Structure 1
Amino acid sequence: MRLDPAVRASGLLAVLVASGILAVHSAPADGSVIGIWPVGVASALAIEAGRRRAPYVVPVVLVVAVLTIWQGGRPFDVALGYGIGIAVETAVVAAVLLRGRAGRPPLRTDADLRRYFLACGAAGGVGAAAGALTSWATGFGEPAAVALALGAAHTASQLTLLPFFMRLPQHGSIASPVERAAQWGASLVLTPLVFYPDQLPSMAFMVVPLLAWGALRLRPLEALAQMAATLFFAIVMTSSGRGPFAAVPQAFDLSPDTRGVLLAAYAATCALIVVPLMIRVGQHIVISREARSQRDKVQSIVDGATGIAIIGTDPEGRVTLFNPGAERLLGYSAAEMMGRSARVLHTMRSVVDKADELGTTRNYGSVVREIARPEHAGTQMRFLRQDGVERVHSMTLNRMVDDLGTIVGYVSTSEDVTDQLRAQDRLQDSLHTERQAVEQLRELDRAKDAFVSSVSHELRTPITSILGYLELLADGSYGALSPPQATALQRVSANSDRLLSLIDELLTLSRLSEDGLALSSRAFDLREVVQEGYGVVAPAWEHRRLDVSLGLPSEPVLFVGDRDMLERVVVNLLGNAVKFTPEGGSVEVCLEVADRGVAGPEIHLDVRDTGMGIPTHEIQQLFSRFFRSSLAQERAIPGSGLGLSITRAIIEKHGGVIDVESVVDRGTLFRVRLPA
């Protein structure tokens, strides 16, 4: 459980004050620097405060630094210069590590490591610059020596202390309990042996392998703690005049501050080894976990694909993977196939046939190399089951290559498609039979159309002759007619006209079906066509109680097409509306040019009535030849069922469409849409 932020901040501040005082007091009295002042703790305090509150920490750090350095015996102006440098360092480190982040900055990836190095290097540079400027301004020490000592000390402090306050890799200890005990024991024994004697040659390097061992095998925080403990002991021993670094200034007649520079360099070296190794181990563990997860996922998929045979081999073709799907489809167990050549799954005949199909050499290796090409994915290959039955598989073969491009094996995925191919063959046979039947029906339809056309032509001549004689009889050319005779003659004439109209419709429909109807193409005013069609149908409602209206635009509606055929459209639609509208109803004809915006203008011819309507389920059949609505049949309304079929054919030949909206017992709207 983490402590309250205020408690953590207070604790860090107390550590900063105490360690700052100890650092200054442990520095050589005749030196010009302040030992390894804990600037890393100051940066940690800013990090703990967070990005928004870090600026408020900087003045506190400034005050603590100035007071601890001044209290340690350094002149106030020197303490002020060093303190300002420490405060600026703290601000720089916080800015680098907290930029764009909330909470503690991470130290888990190479990018995090680069940012960590940048922050520590920038801090060391600021410390060196502040030391040099302070020395130059106050005359306290040599600027170059002070810059070197402060830069090294502050860099080491940041490198060793900052990781404790960053988000480290979250892996546990790789080492066993025995190895951990041995590693810690070796560190605890060797560190005093290295840093306590002052007469032996320097053996400080001997501790570094132990720290690297810990970075590779221990938990990250544990490895850092081991490094910190080692460095703490080294600082204590060196400050007490013991160890390999304490006697260097006297032995080589160097500045007393050299001792601190060497100690800081040693601490920085340890951190530069431990921290990157710790991060690399963390990355390796994360990658290993992801790889295991992916491997398990792939294995689950492979094992779960019971309908697909997945077979893996080494470069020589020896089986290394044989999934449950392969066991089910081929009859072999995985144990039987492991290490055997995949060649046993194919007969020589199948290999030769495939080689001929692919145009390659007739041997197994050549066929494998050719099938592995991407363009042959999904190729069909015959597989031999353990029971000797040969089955056709849809197969894809892929090469597996390593980072250097070397082939390390092959993976084959295949699916048994034998039954599908048989079903496909049966389907092809059925389709062929159906095509023959359809062609026969078309022949019958063409024969029917030819018959209808021929009969219609043959009927038209005698009907025309009959109508001629009827006119002569009606005119009294063969004598006066009695009233009953005149009535009978009118009925015969009306039915003859109706029969002639039906013959004309059959002939027109036949020509439309055969695409033999030649349409004229000339410009005209559609208003005149609608007006003329309206006039043709007018006698049909003269003696009925119908409200029939015509709406035409004031401007000409120019159109290029067949005038007579479009007039026939008007006559058919208006005639149907009048025929199917009961007494007291209304019929409306309207011609207009509709503006469709970006799509451009369109001509609309609407014929609306309040008649009996059309059932919704019959609307789709309305334009079929000889179709008549069930309501028309129930109410015995005469008609051939050809008018609307002819109407739609004429409209479509003019590049238009016809729409229908209808409600039973409420009426119908036919809308003809033609290109403007």
Structure 2
Amino acid sequence: MWNLGRGQLVLPTTVGVLVLVFGAGALAIASAPADTPVAIWWPAAGISVALLALAPRRWWWWLTVGVAVATGAANLVMDRPLDLALWLGVANAGEAYVAASFLRWRRRPLRELAGLDVFLRLVAAAVLGGVTMALVAATGILVLTDGSFTQTLRSLSLSHAASTLVVLPIVMAPAIRRQARLAWELPLQLGILIAVTVLVFAPGQTLSLEFLPLPFLIGAALRFDLGIVAWELAGFAVFVILTSSAGHGPFGFDFERGEVSGLGMGAVLQAFVVATALMTLPLAISVEQRRRLLEQVSSSEKLTSATLDTAATLILVTDLYGEVLRVNAATLALTGFDEPELVGKEIWEMPFAPPGSTGYPAGLPEATDAQASRETDVVTRSGDKRRVLWNTSFVRDDRERPTYVVITGTDLTAERTAAGLTRHLLDAAATTAMIGIDPRGRITVFNAGAVNLLGYDAQDILETSFTDLLDVDQVQQRCHGATGDEAFQQLVAGIGAAGETAPRDWTWIGDDGRRHTVSMTLSIAADTFAARVGYLCVGRDVTEARASQEMLIAALEKERLAVQRMKDLDEAKNEFVSTVSHELRTPVTSIVGYTEMLEDGTLVEPAPEQRPLLQSIARNGQRLILLCDDLLTLSGIDSGAARWERNAVDLSAILVGAEDALRAQLAGRDLEVVVMSTDGPIPVLGDKVQLERALTNLLSNAIKFTEDGGRIEVSAKVHEGEAWLTVSDTGIGVPLEEQEGLFQRFFRSSSAQQRAIQGTGLGLSIVAAIVATHGGEIDVRSAHLEGTTFTIRLPLARG
């Protein structure tokens, strides 16, 4: 989980690392000498920086708090005052945030430690983090205790920078490769390193031999992967610091004798660790870069070899003096000679060159950016002759200087024999008719495909007129009444610049009188010197295909007529709905009006038991009027009769009016309606009344389908160059499987039907139609019993 490219941090691992930060901090304080106010080394610093550098940035705010709590708790449990522990916890968190931010500059992922530029960034991050922590912590020690600001600053800067410089390479190193020598060389090197380190820093050992382990660490950098070196460096640093803090080894001996203070010994130890890291890590990185470069060169060489060996042409590479340096597999296969017989010899001494050959097969080009070409014979080991087209060109370096000569040869032997095979091809049984015609229009070649198609005998049909094969009436129609030779001349006159006529269906007459529909092409037949020697007719029997096409066209025509009838029926339906809605609205309006007059006592005071009946009549009448209005609106949109304004409308201003219009629906309801204010106007181009109607319909739905105690939010904003109008509620929602038909007319979700919520199912279809006419789109996000969010996206009005 820690190494780059081998997975991402997950929450359980992150919590475990925070526990590790706490443990490392407590251990560092416990192992510090008695006369030092701060720990000599603080491994928790490197672990904290690694944690933030590997974690997603959205976790950083709570991870920073977690680092502060973990390191503060480590100081607190080791009997440090609460105020000082909190101060040091904040300092450690600030260090982790600064160093990780520098490593993840511009929100980039943590880079692999595979280059010196990344290592320099790591060093800079370690220094920045260490100085940040030291400044904050030294200030706290100066304020809360009687410690020295300067000594604390120096000691903490070194210890925390060294910790980051030792821990981070472990997580930034490339993945360790499996190598055969790791099975024996690594244990041997590691055993010697451990033995020498223990000997140098053993109790009672006073000689200044701290340099002895360094050659073995440097040897690891030269022999092993960077990940192994990073682990060995970290283990070496931990062992040296712990033993020295206990008074052992060269550094601990001076401390025990009182020749150096605890802080002084800590500074020397950290300088030693930093120097060790600066010697081993850059060397290991350089070795890793060299290994990768060699792998790239090897891959490039393999690619070149594969390219040469898979090429079907002969390829020879020579130096500028004509010595053959390389040949490809095709050259060996064609000539029959082995590679040692060709490589190292002069090009004009090749064993496959014909007798008397001198110089390059095609000569050398006059300019370095040109080519030279020529055909020659090649004699193979078996004595066969092959005809090869040679091309010679120079290979130039970056300064455009010629460095090598590349000779390519194309075997033309097969092409030279192709002419003799043409006759066999024409005579072979085939489904394509090929007919050779002389300039006079007489048939000279009649292949097996033509025999199979028409049934004529090939010998009998020769020297007959080609037009005799065609339907007479069709020839006269297409050749303006011409027949015979005159008709043939008009046919070949249609051969264009491409050398052939476009494929065209003709009716051919077979020997049995059967009519065949043939897709026919006429092309010019020319010899080597482009002299016209005749024509070639290629025909393919498409009788069945054309019959199938005609059946398909007839079927498509029937389908088109059916679609047109359905369209006419839809238009008739819309007209019927519009007419009925108009006719129904007038009497219903009268009913509602007279009902209101009866209810308010204009004519006669109604009896108390009559008022509920009158109210029911008026209420249902209003529902019928709204239904008629919705149907008329949809009918006008469908027919294109609706004429809406196109003015600049402030979308944010519509929110206030919509809230006032729905105040009556909110009466007696326990709903929280929140209207999000905007920072400025949101201009769109459209009809304000219709946009208000779309918003009102969405809000009305939200009120209708949200139970008491719920919440409705409406907002408008500019997002990604569009105006967004959003209505969100915590209502009963719409099941996912039913959302496809949500904007269809008269659609009612199963949730609404089960709860007997009244509605016509036209509101959302009207909203969708209004949004579509404004060039926008509407999205819905909902689920059963999880609320619903509608988002209208409209193009912004251009200023």
Q: Structure 2 length as normaliser, TM-score?
A: 0.47
1:293-343 CA-partner distances (Å, limit 9, x unpaired): 6986x8999799955333334445555555554344333465665666544
**CA contact 1:313–1:410 (8 Å) conserved in 2:** yes
Matched, 1:365 2:462: no
Structure 2 gap ranges (5+):
1-317, 328-342, 367-375, 389-407
Which residue, 287, 302, 309 being the options, matches 2:433? 309
Write the distance in 1 (CA, Å) between the matches of 2:752 and 2:728: 18
Matched, 1:469 2:594: yes
| Cα displacement (A) at 1:387 | 2.2
Write the distance in 2 (CA, Å) between the matches of 1:659 and 1:473: 46
Query: What is aligned with 1:40?
Result: none
Which residue type is aligned with residue 640 of structure 2? D
| Cα displacement (A) at 1:591 | 0.9
Matched, 1:647 2:767: yes
* Change in 2 beyond 3 A, CA 1:303/1:553: farther
* Change in 2 beyond 3 A, CA 1:355/1:593: same
| Cα displacement (A) at 1:546 | 4.0
Which residue, 642, 656, 663 being the options, matches 2:776? 656
| Cα displacement (A) at 1:428 | 3.8
Write the distance in 2 (CA, Å) between the matches of 1:636 and 1:362: 87
Write the distance in 2 (CA, Å) between the matches of 1:116 and 1:461: 99
| Cα displacement (A) at 1:504 | 0.7
Q: Which one is further off, 388-397 or 423-432?
A: 423-432
* Change in 2 beyond 3 A, CA 1:379/1:173: same
Pairs within 5 Å for 1:264-343: 286-292=411-417, 306-317=430-441, 319=443, 321-332=445-456, 342-343=466-467
1:528-567 CA-partner distances (Å, limit 9, x unpaired): 2122123323443443454443223121112332111100
Pairs within 5 Å for 1:194-205: none
Matched, 1:555 2:555: no
**CA contact 1:173–1:218 (8 Å) conserved in 2:** no
Write the distance in 1 (CA, Å) between the matches of 2:627 and 2:699: 17
Give the SS at the match of 2:322: helix
Write the distance in 2 (CA, Å) between the matches of 1:219 and 1:493: 103
Query: What is aligned with 1:171?
Result: 380
Query: What is aligned with 1:414?
Result: 539
Which residue type is aligned with residue 587 of structure 2? P
Which residue, 520, 523, 544 being the options, matches 2:648? 523
Write the distance in 1 (CA, Å) between the matches of 2:386 and 2:571: 91
| Cα displacement (A) at 1:352 | 1.7
Write the distance in 2 (CA, Å) between the matches of 1:106 and 1:293: 30
| Cα displacement (A) at 1:497 | 1.0
Write the distance in 2 (CA, Å) between the matches of 1:509 and 1:219: 79
Which residue type is aligned with residue 493 of structure 2? E
| Cα displacement (A) at 1:603 | 0.4
Write the distance in 2 (CA, Å) between the matches of 1:219 and 1:511: 80
* Change in 2 beyond 3 A, CA 1:533/1:290: same
* Change in 2 beyond 3 A, CA 1:450/1:347: closer
Which residue, 476, 481, 486 being the options, matches 1:352? 476
Query: What is aligned with 2:39?
Result: none
Which residue, 348, 360, 371 being the options, matches 1:112? 360
**CA contact 1:320–1:338 (8 Å) conserved in 2:** yes
| Cα displacement (A) at 1:674 | 0.9
Which residue type is aligned with residue 757 of structure 2? I
Query: What is aligned with 2:321?
Result: 96
Which residue type is aligned with residue 780 of structure 2? V
Query: What is aligned with 2:9?
Result: none
Query: What is aligned with 2:178?
Result: none
Matched, 1:401 2:538: no
Which residue type is aligned with residue 546 of structure 2? L
Query: What is aligned with 2:788?
Result: 668
**CA contact 2:650–2:684 (8 Å) conserved in 1:** yes
Write the distance in 1 (CA, Å) between the matches of 2:782 and 2:730: 10
**CA contact 1:310–1:326 (8 Å) conserved in 2:** yes
Q: Which one is further off, 428-437 or 460-469?
A: 428-437
Which residue, 580, 600, 613 being the options, matches 2:705? 580
Query: What is aligned with 1:130?
Result: none
Which residue type is aligned with residue 469 of structure 2? L
Query: What is aligned with 1:638?
Result: 758
Query: What is aligned with 2:79?
Result: none
Matched, 1:382 2:507: yes
Q: Which one is further off, 624-633 or 445-454?
A: 624-633
Query: What is aligned with 1:623?
Result: 743
Give the SS at the match of 1:399: strand
| Cα displacement (A) at 1:568 | 0.4
| Cα displacement (A) at 1:459 | 1.8
| Cα displacement (A) at 1:481 | 3.9
RMSD between aligned residues: 4.1
1:84-130 CA-partner distances (Å, limit 9, x unpaired): xxxxxxxxx96421488673454569982354899xxxxxxxxxxxx
Write the distance in 2 (CA, Å) between the matches of 1:561 and 1:117: 71
Write the distance in 2 (CA, Å) between the matches of 1:423 and 1:616: 44
Query: What is aligned with 1:489?
Result: 614
1:251-299 CA-partner distances (Å, limit 9, x unpaired): xxxxxxxxxxxxxxxxxxxxxxxxxxxxxxx98x942234446986x89
Number of aligned residue pairs: give it: 426
Pairs within 5 Å for 1:205-244: none
**CA contact 1:541–1:578 (8 Å) conserved in 2:** yes
1:152-173 CA-partner distances (Å, limit 9, x unpaired): xxxxxxxxxxxxxxx9934367
**CA contact 1:106–1:168 (8 Å) conserved in 2:** no
Which residue, 604, 627, 636 being the options, matches 2:724? 604
Give the SS at the match of 1:112: coil
| Cα displacement (A) at 1:415 | 2.5
Give the SS at the match of 2:412: helix
**CA contact 1:311–1:321 (8 Å) conserved in 2:** yes
| Cα displacement (A) at 1:408 | 2.4
Higher relative contact order (CA closer than 8 Å, sequence separation 6+): 1
Write the distance in 1 (CA, Å) between the matches of 2:693 and 2:516: 65
Write the distance in 2 (CA, Å) between the matches of 1:478 and 1:110: 128
**CA contact 2:502–2:521 (8 Å) conserved in 1:** yes
Write the distance in 2 (CA, Å) between the matches of 1:591 and 1:305: 75
Give the SS at the match of 1:543: coil
1:166-215 CA-partner distances (Å, limit 9, x unpaired): x993436769xxxxxxxxxxxxxxxxxxxxxxxxxxxxxxxxxxxxxxxx
Q: Which one is further off, 552-561 or 340-349?
A: 340-349
Give the SS at the match of 1:169: strand
Matched, 1:509 2:614: no
Kindly indicate which of the two structures has a greater share of residues assigned to helix. Answer: 1
Write the distance in 2 (CA, Å) between the matches of 1:322 and 1:619: 67
| Cα displacement (A) at 1:604 | 0.8
| Cα displacement (A) at 1:626 | 3.2
Structure 1 gap ranges (5+):
1-92, 119-166, 176-216, 221-281
Identity value in percent: 37
Write the distance in 1 (CA, Å) between the matches of 2:358 and 2:765: 77
